[in-house]
Amino acid sequence: MMKYIEKMKGQNERLKEIAWIESHMVRVPLARIMSFIDLMSNTQGDVSEKEQHYIS
């Protein structure tokens, strides 16, 4: 029974590592996209309807 518990603990740790890596693989590009959208939204000047559609 103790071997099973230790095996499960090891698998849980590996799953936590995978979840952390995967979340960062998504979070970093998403943050960059959101920053770009924010920059575009705050840009002075006329924005065409098509451009507004892309940034909203």
Q: Which helix (H) or strand (E) holds 50?
A: helix 49-55
What's the pLDDT tens digit per position in 29-54?
Answer: 999 999 988 887 777 667 777 877 77
Pick left, alpha or beta for residue 45 (phi over 0 → left; psi -120 to 50 → alpha; otherwise beta): left
Q: What is the DSSP letter of 3?
A: H
Q: Is the separation of the CB atoms in 3 and 21 below 8 Å?
A: no
Mean of pLDDT values over 8-22 = 95
Asked whether the predicted pLDDT for residue 25 surpasses 70, the reply is yes
Q: List C-alpha distances in Å: 44 to 15, 39, 54.
A: 46, 10, 16
Higher-confidence residue: 27 or 50?
Answer: 27
pLDDT at 31: 92
Average pLDDT of every residue of the chain:
86
pTM for this model (two decimals): 0.51
Q: Is the separation of the CB atoms in 55 and 41 below 8 Å?
A: yes
